Amino acid sequence: MSQLPARLTRTLFAALGSRTERVALGGFDLAVHRLGRPGGEPWVLLHGLGATGATFLPLLPALRREADLVVPELSETGGSHGPAPSLAVADAVPLVAGLAHRLFPGRAVTLGGASLGGWVALRLALAEPGLAARLFLVAPGGYRDQDWERVAGAVTVASRADAHRVLGALFARPPWALRLLPGAIERLYRAAPVRHLLSGALRPEDAFGDAELARIAAPAALLWGERDGIFPLSTGEAMARALPCATLYPVPGAAHLPHWERRRACVAALADFRRRHPVPA
C-alpha cells in the first residue's frame, strides 16, 4: 500500500503524456511531474494533505495545451523522499521556490495549490512576491481566523468511522468506489506523511491573517465548494475580502474537492480567471 499511490499517480500522469523526473533540492529527492507545452505559461501545482499530484488531474487537460506544468510530490505518498515523510509549510516554501527558479529561471509563475498546497502557495507569494504571477487556489488552508480545533478534527483519522467522516468532508457526494474502500482512506490518513504534519509540523506561526493577505498583489482565484467540510465557504469569503486582487468562485453542490465533483464549473472558473488576468507565455 505504501508505494501504490505513487505508482498509480505516475501511471495517471503518464496517460496524459507526462514525464516524472527526480529533482534533488534541500535534502529532498522530489518526484516531479512535467507536462504541457515546453516554454508555455509556467505553472507550479501543489497538492494537499494525504494526497498526491493526481489531485489536479481534472484540471490538467484544460491547461496542458498552453501551459508548461510542474507538479511536485510533497510527501512519500507521491514518491518523494527526504529527512521527513512529508514537507511542512515552512520547509516546502523554500524548496518549491528553488524548484520554480530551477525549472523556470527568470520567470514568474502561476502558483496553484489545493488545501495544504494552497497554504504553501500563499506563504511562498509572501516570501517571494516577484515569483508569483498569479495564484489559483482550491480551498487553501492556513487562514488564522478560524476554528483550528474543528479543522484538525475534520482530518484526523483513528478509525474506519473517521475515514467515512473525512470522505463526507472532502465530497458532497463521495464517489461510490471510495465509499466501498474506506480502508484505503483510513490507511492514507493514518500513514506517516499525514501523522508527521498533524503531530506538530504544521505550526501556528505559519498561518496568515488579513494583514499578510493584504500584502499579496498577485491576482488570486479562490475556488471553493459551497459544502466544504474542512474549510467553510465563509473562510473563502473572508480571504477574498482581504486579498487586494481576488476572485472567489463558489461551486454549488461540491465540498473540499470541487474540481472532482463539478469539473465543468471549475474548468470554466479557471478559464475566466486566466482571461481576466493573462500573463506572458
115-135: pLDDT as tens digits? 999 999 999 999 999 999 999
Asked if residue 128 belongs to a domain, the reply is yes
Per-residue confidence (pLDDT) for residue 281, from 0 to 100: 56
CATH of the domain at 49: 3.40.50.1820
Rounded mean pLDDT, 74-100? 96
Half-sphere exposure of 250 (CA within 13 A, CB side): 13
Rounded to whole angstroms, the Cα distance separating 79 from 26 reads 16
Asked if residue 220 belongs to a domain, the reply is yes
pLDDT band at 180 (very low <50, low <70, confident <90, very high): low
219-233: pLDDT as tens digits? 999 999 999 999 999
Rounded mean pLDDT, 188-200? 92
Per-residue confidence (pLDDT) for residue 1, from 0 to 100: 45
Q: Which residue matches cell numbers 515569483?
A: 131
Q: Identify the burial level of 224 via C-beta atoms within 10 angstroms of its C-beta, where 0-12 means exposed, 13-18 middle and 19 or more buried.
A: buried
Asked if residue 206 belongs to a domain, the reply is yes
Contact 256, 169 (CB under 8 A): yes
Per-residue confidence (pLDDT) for residue 67, from 0 to 100: 97
Per-residue confidence (pLDDT) for residue 204, from 0 to 100: 86
Asked if residue 281 belongs to a domain, the reply is no
Asked if residue 242 belongs to a domain, the reply is yes
Helices (H), 197-261: 210-213, 233-242, 258-261
Q: At residue 80, does pLDDT exceed 90?
A: yes
Asked which of 11-15, 182-186, 246-250 is least confident by mean pLDDT, the reply is: 182-186
Number of domains in the chain: 1
Kindly give the pairing relationship between strand 220-225 and strand 109-114: unpaired
Cell numbers for 222: 479562490
Average pLDDT, the chain: 94
Q: Could you list the residue range(s) of the whole structural domain that residue 8 is in?
A: 4-276
